[in-house]
Chain A
Amino acid sequence: MKKFVFLLMLLAAPVLAAPVGDTFSDPATEARARNLQRQLRCLVCQGESIDESGASLAAELRHVVRQQIADGRSDQQIEDFLKTRYGNFILMKPPLQADTYFLWFAPFLVLIGAGAVAIFVISKARRAVAELPPDLL
């Protein structure tokens, strides 16, 4: 069955590639392009990545991404290129830099802090157990 589906996909491939825009025939490169597109924010609709946005700017950016992949540039180079043009706002994943340390580390600091409080509470509660009347246990 799987083989059959694969054959069908091969048959459908030219249809897939032709009009929607540039699609890479190599599935690994295509997956790489799609993955990169998902990491970039559409600057018009903002809630969506350029991978899923219907805006024309997103289509242009998709084209830029694919062009640069075809030119043999790395993901990092492409992201840097877009970052210098559009700023950090285009990256779905905020960069780790001085003014985003708080953003990145705060959840884990809260986790550690709350964990420390929990250990303190537990150790206090353990000491209190000794003073409980035994029928409560």
Chain B
Amino acid sequence: MTGELGQLALCFALALSLVMAAAGLTGARADAATARGIAHGATMGMLVFIALAFGALTYAFVTSDFSIADVANNSHTLKPLIYKISGVWGNHEGSMLLWVLVLSLYAGLVSTLGRGGPQLTSGALGVQGLLAAAFILFILFTSNPFLRLDPAPFEGAGLNPLLQDPGLAIHPPMLYAGYVGLSASFSYAAAALIVGEEGWARAARPFMLIAWIALTCGIALGSWWAYYELGWGGFWFWDPVENASLMPWLVATALLHSALATERTGAFRTWTLLLAIAGFSMSLIGTFLVRSGVLSSVHAFASDPTRGFFIMILIFCAIGGALGLFAWRAPTLKGGAAFETVSRETALLLNNVFLVAACAAVFVGTLYPLLLDAINGEKISVGPPYYAATFAPIFFALLLLVPFGPVLGWRRGDLKASLRALAPALGIAAVAVVAVLAVASPRFLTGVCAFAVAGWLIGASILGFLKRKGARASAFAAALAHAGLGVTLMGVAGTTLWRSEALTVLAPGQTMVVGPYTLRFDGVTQEQGPNYRASRAHIALMDGAKVQSMLTPEQRIYPAEGQDTANTAIRTTGFEDLYLALGDDRGNGRWTLRAYVSPLAPFIWLGGLVMAFGGMLSLWGRLRVGARVPSAAVQPAE
């Protein structure tokens, strides 16, 4: 029954999304108040039905209803409840349903909280309805999660054990909240082009911020998961799937900055519209990369092209339609940029130049190998050295310039005064350099540069906090987000440059040394988990002859799925991680053990959190201000 209910709910949602699209777009006209009412109603109706469909699938997973193919292929009765639930989005069909659920949630938010004129909101709902309709059609025709199996199998095939992890249980919803959240900015931009309303950037800002915060957290969470779960101590692999989430983040960051100028002085009006379109386009392209199978091989894609082609057509329609609308309507918008060379507008413009170039590096690096393979069959790898040579210098240049933005005035800045204001940050950067030279060895030039820039970023942010007593929340938000960049930079530099490691085969009772730590191997025991067997190593961290603490890295075997995973043991001081992964069994009780000491590793994700807090502060300030001021009123922000 549940499957049929879900299917039915999905069909109703499709109908309502079409109503939403038609009524919403009609409501973009001034005299169509009735259509606007219908659009709002249809939005809520669609949200309810999508939620019902999602609830039905979740129920099927929780109750292990193996008559539904999706559940049978991706679940198992012995799985703990949390992974039965996360299994809903741990597969293609369910994750697309989550995609549409998030899209509907944003549509609901636009409908209830969206500020800006009624025509603009209605137009945005219309575009959101079009997107929802396209994706529900995609689900119904190529990825239906409610297809039945007859006869139903007695037991399910299980979920990829790598995904059976608390971090990865919440990673996809978080990432989708960001990815798909960019659809709200996209819809607002398209609606603004249709209606010709200029206040769209202000109306869309809360949604941009929510999407950016979620994307930041989602990427940090994914990177953290890769760090502790994959067992190699790495935190970013420049894997195409990771890149697919980084590209929307880079564009969304550019959008947040460009939209500031548009709101405040009307500068970069058309460019901000284009970025809003580009941001969601990157999300769509990322979805295509991850969901079409094109990544594993161009040929795997060609062997089952239905899904890939459907998404490709969808992308062409969405991006092409939006760009067509842009080309047609954007010239009618008044260009209003007026500022001196030294001004905050210039700083924001440079931010965009570097972010777009950085995004281009990731974009080309991710897609060019696929293109080359398709054209002449030549296979190349684009690995970390490529990004170190392209992305890294571009992003580094951006980081150098970041502190200037908040201290320069709008329209006409004062370079001398700004430099004077920032001088103490240079002092902090110098302290950071001295500290690195004193503490760290070996000494790397890149490490010195990284810490200098981190000190510069954090120093400038501290100055921002001190100087701006009584300033708006947004000023503190910017300082916090920029400081987060510095924190992450320190973590990245510390981990990549000063990591020490040891790979040893140990017999029980033997010790090994890694960095400043001495470890004693006390043997391996066999443990039984709910749906796995584990070989658990007992490693004593020694303090002289005393045992300071015990670490237990594991190798888990999941019999239902026939796969094994490494479960690392990480002991952190907050400034340094001791990271242990258990390798293979060498017989006679001897095991391979890999150990890493990663200085400042926790800073990588701490920085991401700090950035996200900056975004939340900005959002809070925005909602508070918005509550006080009538919606359409023009008033300076930031």
Residues of chain A having any CB pair with chain B under 8 Å = 1, 5, 8-9, 12, 15-16, 18-20, 39, 41, 46-49, 52, 54, 87-95, 99-100, 102-104, 106-108, 110-111, 114-115, 117-118, 121-122, 124-126, 128-129, 131-132, 136-137
Contacts and interface: CB of A to CB of B under 8 A. Distances in A.
Contact of A92 (B384, B394, B590): B384
Contacts of B506: 15
B357 A111 contact: yes
B381 A88 contact: yes
Contacts of B1: none
B364 A102 contact: yes
A100 B512 contact: no
Contacts of A121: 268, 337, 349
Contact of A114 (B341, B356, B378, B385): B356
Contact of B337 (A47, A104, A125): A125
Interface string B493-526: 0000000001111100011110110100000000
15 contacts: A5-B513, A16-B512, A19-B505, A52-B232, A92-B383, A92-B384, A92-B385, A94-B369, A100-B368, A102-B368, A106-B360, A107-B364, A111-B357, A114-B356, A129-B338
B513 A9 contact: yes
B407 to A, nearest CB: 17
Contact of B504 (A15, A95, A114, A125): A15
Contacts of B352: 114, 118
Given A99-B372, A99-B376, A107-B390, A137 B381 contact: no
Interface size class of B (residues with CB under 8 A): 35 or more
A105 B428 CA distance: 35
A121 B350 CA distance: 11
A26 B232 CA distance: 24
A87 B518 contact: no
B354 interface: yes
A93 B349 contact: no
B338 A125 contact: yes
B380 interface: yes
A118 B411 contact: no
Contacts of B504: 12, 15-16, 20
Contacts, number: 151
A13 B601 CA distance: 26
A111 B354 contact: yes
A104 B390 CA distance: 8
B239 to A, nearest CB: 5
Given A20-B505, A104-B390, A110-B357, A99 B346 contact: no
Contacts of B515: 5
Given A94-B369, A99-B372, A136-B338, 20 more contacts: A9-B513, A12-B504, A12-B513, A15-B510, A47-B237, A52-B232, A54-B584, A90-B381, A92-B383, A93-B383, A94-B386, A99-B378, A100-B368, A104-B389, A107-B358, A111-B357, A111-B394, A129-B339, A129-B412, A132-B411
Given A20-B505, A107-B390, A108-B357, A91 B338 contact: no
Contact of A94 (B232, B358, B382): B382
Given A20-B592, A99-B378, A122 B386 contact: no
Nearest to B365: A103
B626 interface: no
Contacts of B503: 16, 20
A91 B358 CA distance: 22
B472 interface: no
B353 A94 contact: no
A132 B338 contact: yes
Given A9-B513, A110-B357, A114-B353, A128 B382 contact: no
Contact of B379 (A15, A20, A88, A115): A88
B234 interface: yes
Interface of B: 232, 234, 237, 239, 267-268, 337-341, 345-346, 349-350, 352-354, 356-358, 360-361, 364-365, 368-369, 372, 376, 378-386, 389-391, 394, 411-412, 502-506, 510-513, 515-516, 518, 583-584, 586, 590, 592
Given A9-B513, A52-B234, A125 B390 contact: no
A104 B353 CA distance: 18
Contacts of B505: 15, 18-20
B239 A122 contact: no
A122 B341 contact: yes
A15 B507 CA distance: 10
Contacts of A108: 357, 390
Contacts of A114: 352-353, 356-357
A9 B341 CA distance: 58
Nearest to B411: A137
Contacts of A49: 383
Contacts of B365: 103
Contacts of A115: 353
Nearest to B503: A20
B513 A89 contact: no
Contacts of B384: 92
Contacts of A103: 364-365, 368, 372, 380, 382, 386
A96 to B, nearest CB: 10
A111 to B, nearest CB: 4
A9 B237 CA distance: 30
Nearest to A86: B379
Contact of A125 (B345, B356, B382, B584): B345
Nearest to B339: A125
Contacts of A125: 267, 337-340, 345
Contacts of B394: 107, 111
A110 B360 contact: yes
